[in-house]
Copies of this chain bind each other. A is one copy, B any other.
């Protein structure tokens, strides 16, 4: 795999990841691109003991452009996109409308009268990157070859290491939002990578659970959960020597699959070559099952849970959480009062039923799996 570093017209970084060692790229972005102002900040919500990000400059961001104006397609002689090169395998670049950035304006305290812990704001330091999985606008992650997924994994690993080395970044999150149903504004197959200036609330909650479990049992919570799911078996979707894909017993979403390496690994850089090869196959299998469930492709969110950069690395267990808001053909699950107001999820689909549906569905084209 070959990496090529370059810069976009407004100074943002771009990195090409190519399967051929002979790949060449256009290193100069000919656009006259005004520098964007990033007015990101994070505010402390004392009621929930959580950080919330404010990114008011994002209101004007690109919203579902027609496909002949896609900013993620390669550039042509007559049209310049975010990617100056005429083709690419996988490419990563800084988001033009980031929620977090390396350079952001400083912020003044919200109020000097309030108690010191109550109204707190900080600059939104961090990083937001876009990952294009293929130059083919009308493809999807599930249609990538295993070799291309391997290249995507290398990009995730590489960027995880790079973002973790940035000042202020406390957690690196590689994820994909797919489908207009969940508000995706660009159809081109792509994911994102966030470098957060805090450990995210959900990760912190999981690590707190894992800490209490370890204090009680001297064991790793996630390793034991995986073992329990493997022993029970009724919610396993597919498994290999190195990975297990299952619907968790307490799934929140009508379709939800977690993919765990069978070996305890803290983050993506910790995966062996064999584990990366095997993940490419098992993940494509699961995604193709997702897409085969209904007549139209499944909207989904897929996110890597990695150990934070500095703390609780021993408690974390790398895994991917994949879920969909689709609860039946043509029906979506909405987060309403119980979920959004109280955090109490109500799932209309039993996890055992979801797992059976995913086991039984026949993907339109199958991989040669063991």
Contacts and interface: CB of A to CB of B under 8 A. Distances in A.
B327 A50 contact: no
Contact of A53 (B201, B205, B346): B346
Contacts of A183: 332-334, 336
Nearest to A100: B346
Contact of A345 (B53, B111, B119): B53
Interface stretch (A2-10, A135-143, A245-253, A356-364): A245-253
A342 interface: yes
Interface stretch (A15-23, A28-36, A150-158, A171-179): A171-179
Chain A residues touching B, majority SS: mixed
A328 interface: yes
A110 B232 contact: yes
A145 interface: no
A326 B150 CA distance: 38
A346 B228 contact: no
A182 interface: yes
Nearest to A192: B337
A178 B111 CA distance: 34
Interface string A214-250: 0001000110110110011000000000000000111
Contacts of A27: none
A200 interface: yes
A345 to B, nearest CB: 5
Given A43-B250, A118-B224, A301-B336, A343 B231 contact: no
Interface string A33-60: 0000000000111111111111110110
A78 interface: no
Contacts of A177: 336-337
Given A173-B342, A343-B201, A350 B54 contact: yes
Considering the complex of A and B, which 9 residue pairs feature the smallest CB-CB distances, nearest first? A183-B334, A114-B228, A303-B341, A201-B343, A202-B343, A175-B337, A45-B250, A200-B342, A43-B250
Given A50-B250, A182-B336, 11 more contacts: A45-B248, A48-B202, A55-B348, A59-B348, A59-B349, A114-B227, A114-B231, A119-B232, A183-B334, A203-B342, A302-B337
